[in-house]
Chains A and B, each alone.
Chain A
Amino acid sequence: MNNMWIHPAIIMMAGACLLPFIPRSAAVLKSYLVTVPALAFMSVLFMNVPAHGDPAFIHGQFQFLDWQLTFGRVDSLSNIFGHIMTLMCLIGTVYGLHVKDVKEHMAAWLYVAGSLGVIYCGDYITLFLFWELMAFTSVFLVWFRKRKESLWTGYRYLLVHTAGGLFLLAGIILRYKATGGDLAFTLMDVTNPTLYTYLIMIGFILNAAVPPFHAWLPDAYGEATVSGAVFMCAFTTKTAVYALVRGCAGMDILIPLGVFMALYGVVYAVLENDCRRLLAYHIISQVGYMVTGVGIGTEMAINGTCAHAFAHILYKGLLFMGCGSVLQMTGQSKFTELGGLYKKMPRAFIYTLIGGLSISAFPLFSGFVSKSMIVAAGFEEHMLWPAFLLTLASAGTFLHTGLKVPYFIWFGKNNCTNETWEKAAEPPVNMEIAMIAASFLCVFIGCYLPYLYDLLPFQHAASEYAHHVYSSYHVSESLQILLFTALGFFMFTKKLAPEPTISIDMDWFYRMGGRGFMWIAKKPIQWVDDKVSEGYQGIGLIPLMTTAKFWSWFDWHAIDGVVDGIARSVRGVGGKARALQSGQLQYGIYFAATAVAIVIVAYVLS
Chain B
Amino acid sequence: MDLVKIIDFLRDRLKTVIRISYVVLALLIVHYWFFVDKHSAHTKMEHLFFFWAAFGFIACLLIIFLSKWYGHLGIMTREDYYDE
Taking Cβ atoms with an 8 Å cutoff, the residues of A that contact B are 266-268, 270-271, 342-343, 346-347, 349-350, 379, 384, 387, 391-392, 395-396, 399, 468, 471-474, 476-477, 479-485, 487-489, 492, 495-496, 499-504, 511
B1-42 Cβ-contact flags toward A at 8 Å (1 or 0): 001100100000000000000001100110110011110111
Q: Which residues of the other chain, B, contact A502 by a CB distance below 8 angstroms? A: 76-79, 81-82
B60 touches A399 (CB 8 A): yes
B4 and A343 within 8 A (CB): yes
CB within 8 Å for A476 and B32 given contacts A481-B55, A502-B77: yes
A350 to B6, CA, bound (A): 12
Q: A439 to B25, alpha carbons, bound, how many Å?
A: 27
Contact B76 A503 (CB under 8 A): yes
Given contacts A267-B63, A502-B81, A511-B82, contact A480 B76 (CB under 8 A): no
B-side contacts of A391, CB under 8 Å: 55, 59
**Contact of A500 with B79 at beta-carbon distance under 8 Å, contacts A472-B35, A480-B53 already known:** yes
**B54 nearest CB neighbor, chain A only:** A484
The 9 listed contacts between A and B (C-beta, < 8 Å) are A271-B76, A342-B4, A391-B59, A472-B36, A481-B59, A484-B60, A487-B56, A502-B76, A503-B71
Q: Note all chain A residues with C-beta closer than 8 A to B79.
A: 500-502
Minimum CB–CB distance from A511 to chain B (whole Å) comes to: 6
B71: A residues at CB distance < 8 A: 270-271, 501, 503
Task: Closest B residue to A400 by CB, please name it.
Answer: B63
Q: Of the candidates A347, A384, A387, A396, which one forms a contact with B63 in the assembled complex, judged by CB atoms under 8 Å apart?
A: A396
Whether B31 pairs with A476 at a CB distance below 8 angstroms is yes
Cα distance, A492 to B66, chains bound together (Å): 13
Chain B residues proximal to chain A, CB less than 8 Å = 3-4, 7, 24-25, 28-29, 31-32, 35-38, 40-43, 46, 52-57, 59-68, 70-71, 74-79, 81-82
- In the complex with contacts A473-B37, A503-B77, A483-B28 CB distance below 8 A: yes
Q: Are A487 and B25 in contact (CB under 8 A)?
A: yes
Distance in Å: Cβ of B73 to nearest Cβ of chain A = 10
> Taking chain A's interface residues, is the majority helix, strand, or loop, or is none over half, making it mixed?
helix
Known pairs A271-B75, A472-B37, A480-B32 / 16 extra A-B pairs, C-beta < 8 Å? A266-B63, A270-B68, A271-B70, A395-B60, A396-B59, A473-B38, A476-B28, A476-B52, A482-B56, A484-B52, A485-B59, A492-B60, A492-B61, A495-B64, A496-B64, A502-B81
User: Given that A384-B43, A391-B55, A476-B32 are known contacts, is A492 also in contact with B64, CB under 8 Å in the complex?
Assistant: yes
Given A350-B3, A503-B77, A504-B77, check contact A483 B64 (CB 8 Å): no
Give Cα distance in the complex from A476 to B67, angstroms.
28
**Contact between B4 and A399 (Cβ–Cβ < 8 Å)?**
no
Which residues of B sit under 8 angstroms from A387, Cβ to Cβ? Answer: 42
- Bound: A511/B81 CA distance, A: 11
Query: A504–B29 Cα gap in the complex (Å)?
Result: 40
Q: How far is the CB of A271 from chain B (nearest CB, A)?
A: 4
Residue of A349, A468, A471, A477 ringed by the most chain B CB atoms within 10 A: A477
- The reply to whether B28 and A342 contact each other, CB–CB distance below 8 Å, is no
Complex CA gap A271/B57 in Å reads 19
Judge whether A480 and B61 touch: CB under 8 Å.
Answer: no
Q: How many Å lie between the Cα of A391 and that of B45 in the bound state? A: 15
**Of the candidates A384, A472, A484, which one forms a contact with B25 in the assembled complex, judged by CB atoms under 8 Å apart?**
A484
Among B3, B57, B76, which residue has its beta carbon within 8 angstroms of that of A346?
A: B3
A488 touches B3 (CB 8 A): no
A379 to B43, CA, bound (A): 9
Contact B52 A481 (CB under 8 A): yes
Chain A residues, Cβ within 8 Å of B64 = 270, 399, 488, 492, 495-496
Best-buried of B43, B56, B63 by chain A (most CB within 10 Å): B56
| Contact between A399 and B75, CB atoms less than 8 A apart | no
| Residues of chain B contacted by A392 (CB below 8 angstroms) | 55, 59, 62-63
Q: Given A346-B7, A473-B36, A484-B25, A495 and B59 touching (CB < 8 A)?
A: no
Instruction: Specify the chain B residue showing the minimal Cβ separation from A268.
Output: B67
Bound-state CA distance A500–B70 (Å) is 16
Q: How far is the CA of A148 from the CA of B54 in the complex (A)?
A: 47
Q: Tell me, rounded to whole Å, the shortest Cβ–Cβ distance linking A436 to chain B.
A: 14
Write out the residue numbers on chain A whose beta carbons fall within 8 Å of the beta carbon of B62: 392
Specify which chain B residues have a CB less than 8 angstroms from the CB of A267 in the assembled complex.
63, 66-67, 70
A313 to chain B, nearest CB (A): 25
* Shortest Cβ distance from A396 into B: residue: B63
B53 lies within 8 A of A504 (CB): no
Do A399 and B52 form a contact, CB below 8 Å, given A267-B70, A479-B28? no
Closest-by-CB residue of B relative to A394 is: B59
Docked pose: A477 CA to B42 CA in angstroms = 12
- Please, which residues of chain B bring their CB within 8 A of the CB of A489? 60
Contact B7 A485 (CB under 8 A): no
Contact between chains at A501 and B76 (CB < 8 Å): yes
Contacting B57 at CB < 8 Å: which of A349, A487, A499, A501? A487
Q: State in angstroms the CA–CA spacing of A270 and B32 once bound together.
A: 30
**Chain B residues with CB below 8 A from A492, complex form:** 60-61, 64
With A270-B68, A485-B57, A502-B81 as contacts: A384 and B75 at CB distance below 8 Å: no
From A343, A395, A468, B40 is in contact (CB under 8 Å) with A468
| CA–CA, A482 and B25, complex, Å | 11
- Nearest 3 A/B pairs, CB to CB: A488-B60, A484-B56, A270-B67
